[in-house]
A and B are shown apart, each in its own frame.
Chain A
């Protein structure tokens, strides 16, 4: 069975400050990892994903995440946040192969204050 733990339910930060949203997973097999973002009253948008290769993956809007197999983590970081980054962020895991089921964490609400 696979599971995802997002350690912080809420993260308030000031604009232009760095931020880290933590995600730990458990799975008995190799995994694919995803970060999705959900703006108020909207569906989920893919932010970035790790499938294989380089353990550091980046999004087009400045977020990055690093896959750490030994610590079973996939933390999301941004060096300088904007007010428009305010949203709910979900970490998800898929154990691959024909297992298409995404297992999500409970989400982290990032609030960027001026």
Chain B
């Protein structure tokens, strides 16, 4: 079975632009979470979606938004990009939204903001 897939692999944007990152979960998984990993740090939680509803949001500004589609894929949108948004963005999928549900991570999208 295919794992979590993310697109694009790499992305270069300039300050003030908008970006959309995409994620397809493992087949059968209904939950998608997004994490931001800045160089040299551990991943930080941004959002979780379960059954197309937002179940949680981390400490990120309103410039960050996300949604989940009926097929359980997800998009992460970031508006008005700042230099500090440069990071690896990781998507994780899980069967459900409980703490015991293991999260499986995709390879990530490397975003560079110039």
Chain A residues near B (Cβ < 8 Å): 4, 32, 34, 36, 42-46, 49, 51, 90, 92, 94-107
Pair B90/A102 contact, Cβ less than 8 Å: no
Pair B97/A98 contact, Cβ less than 8 Å: yes
Residues of A within 8 A of B101 (CB): 100
Judged by a CB distance under 8 angstroms, whether B45 is at the interface is yes
User: Chain A binding site: helix, strand, loop or mixed by DSSP?
Assistant: strand
Judged by a CB distance under 8 angstroms, whether B25 is at the interface is no
Distance between Cα atoms of A104 and B35 in the complex (Å): 10
Given A43-B90, A44-B90, decide whether A100 and B97 contact each other with a Cβ distance below 8 A.
yes
Chain B residues near A (Cβ < 8 Å): 4, 31, 33, 35, 40-45, 48, 50, 55-56, 58, 90, 92, 94, 97-108
Pair B107/A51 contact, Cβ less than 8 Å: no
Which residue of A is nearest B4, CB measured? A43
Distance between Cα atoms of A44 and B58 in the complex (Å): 19
Distance between Cα atoms of A51 and B102 in the complex (Å): 10
Given A96-B99, A100-B98, decide whether A107 and B48 contact each other with a Cβ distance below 8 A.
no
Pair B108/A43 contact, Cβ less than 8 Å: yes
> Per a CB cutoff under 8 Å, which of A36, A45, A90, A96 touches B100?
A96
Pair A49/B102 contact, Cβ less than 8 Å: yes
Residues of B within 8 A of A94 (CB): 99
Pair A97/B99 contact, Cβ less than 8 Å: yes
Distance between Cα atoms of A96 and B104 in the complex (Å): 17
Distance between Cα atoms of A81 and B69 in the complex (Å): 43
Query: Shortest distance in angstroms between A71's beta carbon and chain B's nearest beta carbon?
Result: 21
Pair B98/A103 contact, Cβ less than 8 Å: no
Query: Shortest distance in angstroms between B76's beta carbon and chain A's nearest beta carbon?
Result: 15
Given A42-B107, A43-B105, A100-B48, decide whether A105 and B99 contact each other with a Cβ distance below 8 A.
no
Pair B56/A100 contact, Cβ less than 8 Å: yes
Residues of B within 8 A of A43 (CB): 4, 90, 105-108
Complex A-B: 12 CB contacts under 8 Å: A32-B100, A43-B107, A51-B100, A96-B99, A98-B55, A99-B56, A99-B99, A100-B33, A100-B48, A100-B97, A102-B43, A102-B45
Query: Shortest distance in angstroms between B49's beta carbon and chain A's nearest beta carbon?
Result: 10
